[in-house]
Structure 1
Amino acid sequence: MAFTEFVVPTLKTDPVTEATFTTELAPFLINILNTHATPPKFKYFGKILLENGNDVSGDFRLCVGSDADTSTEWEDASHFNSFVASENFQTFKTMVMPHSLAPPVPQLYNTDFEPTKVFGSALTEVWQVQIGEGDGKAVESREAWEKFISAVAEAGGMNGNEKSIQGTSLNLEKRRWVGVLGWESSEIREKVLGSAAVKEAKESLDVLVWNTFIVAFAK
């Protein structure tokens, strides 16, 4: 079990916003994460390249993740909660709002594995399903994911569970399930997803998915 976080800020796409985020906002966020009493184990900053099949690589679309477009991993859910409630994070929200279309909403998930190796891939692909209350939709999503991941593995797209994670949200008002897969290259992704067996296995996942995107995290 691991705690994996995504932040996908809805930033404006003008040059001033891009420059401000790069020179001021990102360094400030990194600093408050690093200096928090219970910091995440790993942090990743990347750019979203595709969203729901549309090429957005020319837009300023970021993803932050940590080993809990930021991604972060936390040792415990309470560490994430204390960071989000901290004065420093409230300051960051105030700083970023003039450059955003909406307030940043961190997404915390309880995933089956740590995301380090997934986020460390050349490309990270994310599938999200709105599951509502109860376990039915979450179970259906997991079963569809396992079928899809098995087909991907057989097609040579991954080696073991270390290149995929899945889990349900802990902090969102509307609960979500997430599946995340790491790809070594766009060529491998295209080849594997073009396989007839993978296409068939992916159908049961596609009918559930609400949102999907591909991000390239900086190494």
Structure 2
Amino acid sequence: MAITEFVLPTFKQDIESITAFAKIIAPFLSNLVDNHTTPPKLKHFGKVVSEDGKDVTGDFRPCLGIEWEQASDFTSLLTTSGFGTFKSMVQPYATAPPNPQLYETDFGPREVLARALTEVWQVKVGDETDAEEKVEKARKVWGVFVDAVGKGTRIQGTSLNQEERLWIGVLGWESSEIRETVLGSPVVREAKKSLDALVWKTFVASFAQ
């Protein structure tokens, strides 16, 4: 198993916020994470290009993908004075407080983050008595879907720190053209219907450097 984190901040759509992120916030965060006593195995800054099927390439939507050695490496970062400084730094430019999403996944995210596009499907499973049943259903539907997609990089898992527990499935795409072709095939479209019926949110991001 692996520990995968996605950070999807929401910033104001103005030049001041965009400039602050590029020149102050991102460098500070990068330095903070890299110099943590237990730094991550990898991190990639990126940009959200689609959310819930809507093209958001024209918006300022930065994101971050990280792999940690263990969950405690992430939680210990949140207690540092540097992270407190980071939160104060972000506040004037953000439209909502940061909500880092931590997941335990079957494999590390290195391969999916290295692709031209990284697509994420999120399903609410909660913490009720039927939560594990919902997780198993999501995994089963995911298995059918990725079998239809065929070869490719993929990971899946469940959240560790969200108020309502989530399951995620993640695919890496070599290009937008390949994604469009594969998702447009009749077999994949049919398999995706069952996944779409469960999904709460989706997003597509580009982490590739």
TM-score range, shorter chain: over 0.9
1:112 aligns with 2:106: yes
State the partner residue of 1:189.
179
Structure 1 CA distance for aligned equivalents of residues 83 and 140 of structure 2: 36
State the partner residue of 1:43.
43
State the partner residue of 1:177.
167
- Tell me the amino acid that sits aligned with residue 93 of structure 2: H
State the partner residue of 2:191.
201
The alpha carbon displacement at 1:138 in A equals: 1.1
The alpha carbon displacement at 1:140 in A equals: 1.0
SS in 2 for 1:99: coil
- Tell me the amino acid that sits aligned with residue 53 of structure 1: G
Alignment deviations for residues 42-82 of structure 1 (CA, whole Å, 9 cap, x no partner):
00111111111111000001111xxxxxx100001111110
The within-5 A match list for 1:25-64 is 25-64=25-64
SS in 2 for 1:172: coil
Q: Quick check: 2:117–2:208 contact (8 Å CA) kept in 1?
A: no
SS in 1 for 2:195: helix
Q: Quick check: 2:48–2:62 contact (8 Å CA) kept in 1?
A: yes
The alpha carbon displacement at 1:96 in A equals: 0.2
Structure 1 CA distance for aligned equivalents of residues 136 and 80 of structure 2: 34
State the partner residue of 2:10.
10
1:127 aligns with 2:121: yes
1:75 aligns with 2:72: no
Alignment deviations for residues 14-57 of structure 1 (CA, whole Å, 9 cap, x no partner):
11100100000000000000100001010011111111111100
- Tell me the amino acid that sits aligned with residue 147 of structure 2: S
Alignment deviations for residues 101-123 of structure 1 (CA, whole Å, 9 cap, x no partner):
11101110000001101000000
Runs of 5+ in structure 2 lacking a partner?
none
Structure 2 CA distance for aligned equivalents of residues 189 and 18 of structure 1: 29
SS in 2 for 1:43: strand
SS in 1 for 2:91: helix
Structure 2 CA distance for aligned equivalents of residues 189 and 112 of structure 1: 23
Structure 2 CA distance for aligned equivalents of residues 63 and 178 of structure 1: 17
Aligned residues: 206
- Alpha-carbon RMSD across the aligned residues, in angstroms, is 0.8
SS in 2 for 1:202: helix
The alpha carbon displacement at 1:218 in A equals: 3.7
- Tell me the amino acid that sits aligned with residue 189 of structure 2: K
Q: Quick check: 2:113–2:208 contact (8 Å CA) kept in 1?
A: no
SS in 2 for 1:46: strand
Runs of 5+ in structure 1 lacking a partner?
65-70
Structure 2 CA distance for aligned equivalents of residues 100 and 63 of structure 1: 13
Structure 1 CA distance for aligned equivalents of residues 14 and 208 of structure 2: 22
